[in-house]
Structures are given as C-alpha cells and as structure tokens.
Structure 1
C-alpha cells in the first residue's frame, strides 16, 4: 500500500543538473522524484564524489603542482646565479613572496 504524499515542493534545475540527477536516480534504480526525496531526507547517503561536478580540488591541486615546479626552477636559477656571482636578491625575494601568496591562496581554496 503506497503512502499518500500530501505536500508538493517545486524545485527548478538547470538542464545539466537534471541530467546528473537522472543518471544518479537510474543508477540507484529509482524514479527522479523518489531519488530527490530520498537524498533530501538523508535516506540515500551522499559522499563527496557525488558532488564532484562542483569540486575544483583536482584543478587546484594541479595548479599547486605547477607552482612547485616553478618554485624549483627559481631555486635552480638562484643556485646558478649564486655560483656565477650575479644575483638580484631583491627580485628573488619578490618572486618568492608572490609564489608564497599564490600557494597560500590555493591551500585556502583546498580547505
């Protein structure tokens, strides 16, 4: 015997969001409305991977890796400059500060 539902809530979605919901509902073996209701009521647990379309962590991690590579290049240039004896210490400090600022911003975004 089906339970009569007495209250209707209308929710609007972007077409790509609806397509994502439909894929999830199909994978769960449910109708779209049932899937949305069960998720909203917490009866279907959602892990972080289910919301990956909103997650920019991978892009930020890739950017952080690139920044590390840039930092390594700067260190290598500094070693060569120190060996040769031609170092612009002030410019090197500026580059290190800027790199640190970007790195800090990325870490804030990741947390």
Structure 2
C-alpha cells in the first residue's frame, strides 16, 4: 500500500534559467535539495522591505528650511538686518531636522 504524503498540496512558480541556477547553488550551500530549500525559505526566509517615507519627509523639511534661509538672506541683503525672530525661527526649523534624523536612525 502506498504511503500517504504529509505534504499533499503542490505549489508552482516560474523562474528563469539563471534564477533556477542560483536557487540550486543556494540549496547546495545549505545542504538541502531544491524542494526543501524553497520550502524553508518560503516559510522562514527573510524579506526586507525598505520604506523611504522618513527620508522623503526629511528631504521635504530640509528643502523647506533652505527656502526660508534664502528668504531671510534676501531680506538681510535688502535691509542689512536680520531679526532675532528670524534666527529663532531658523533654529526651530533646524531642531525639526535633527528630530527627524534621530527618528530615522532610531528606526522610526
């Protein structure tokens, strides 16, 4: 009598010849056959998804501050004076950048 399979569901996907070669090499290094390697990677493998929203937000803030600095510089050249409020405003904006950078490096 034939032995009943534990894994009785088939999963198929298509790869190129180069991808198949790479899968086989990785399976060999892991000392697994192709089926076991693919199953193991599917169940326990690591997928890295990169989210650049924080970087986009940081770029937006930096651009905004750059525009503000240009406006203040233009005003300073026109009247040869920069107010304390302008300097405080720029300082606050820079603190926002530092905060964004810290959140980025702390992982969110």
Q: TM-score, normalised by structure 1?
A: 0.50
Aligned with residue 102 of structure 1, among 79, 82, 96: 96
Please give the residue correspondences for 1:41-52 in structure 2 after superposition, counting only pairs within 5 Å: 44=45, 46-49=46-49, 52=50
Structure 1 Cα separation of the partners of residues 63 and 92 of structure 2: 15
Q: For residue 20 of structure 1, what is the aligned residue in structure 2?
A: none
Say if 1:26 and 1:69 are closer, same or farther in 2 by CA, change over 3 A: farther
Per residue, is there more helix in 1 or in 2?
A: 1
Q: Which runs of 5+ in 2 are unaligned?
A: 14-34
Aligned length: 73
Deviation at 1:89, TM superposition (A): 2.3
For residues 1-111 of structure 1, what are the structure 2 equivalents within 5 Å?
38-39=43-44, 44=45, 46-49=46-49, 52=50, 57-85=51-79, 87-111=81-105
Runs of 4+ in 1 over 3 A off after TM superposition: none
Q: Which runs of 5+ in 1 are unaligned?
A: 3-24
User: Which has the larger Rg?
Assistant: 2
Distance (Å, rounded) in 2 between the aligned partners of 1:65 and 1:71: 10
Assess if the C-alpha contact under 8 Å between 1:67 and 1:103 holds in 2: yes
Per-residue CA distance 1:64-103 (angstroms, 9 max, x = gap)? 1111111111121122111211644211211112111211
Q: Pairwise CA RMSD of aligned residues?
A: 3.3
